[in-house]
Amino acid sequence: MMRCPNCNCRDIGKIGTNQYYCWDCFVEFSLIGDEVKLYQVEEDGSLVSFSDLQAMEQEIQQIG
């Protein structure tokens, strides 16, 4: 059974081809081959890549 790559929960729903949603941590993720991409779902329904979020956090830390 598939588990969420973010929280390891089994409560996963399929929302598209190779696209899934975790009902525990509310993260959307896609599987393409061996690569997993994680996305945060914003209030307006848009997706923000976890890698983009990490880059923004690093920029904020460098400024502060």
Query: pLDDT per position in the chain (64 positions), as tens?
Result: 799 999 999 999 999 999 999 999 999 999 999 999 999 999 999 998 988 766 666 667 777 6
The region that residue 32 occupies, defined by phi over 0 for left and psi between -120 and 50 for alpha, beta otherwise, is beta
- The two structure tokens encoding residue 13: 């729903």
C-alpha angle 22-26-32 in degrees, rounded to nearest 5: 50
d(CA 46, CA 40): 8
pTM metric for this prediction: 0.77
53: part of which helix (H) or strand (E)? helix 50-63
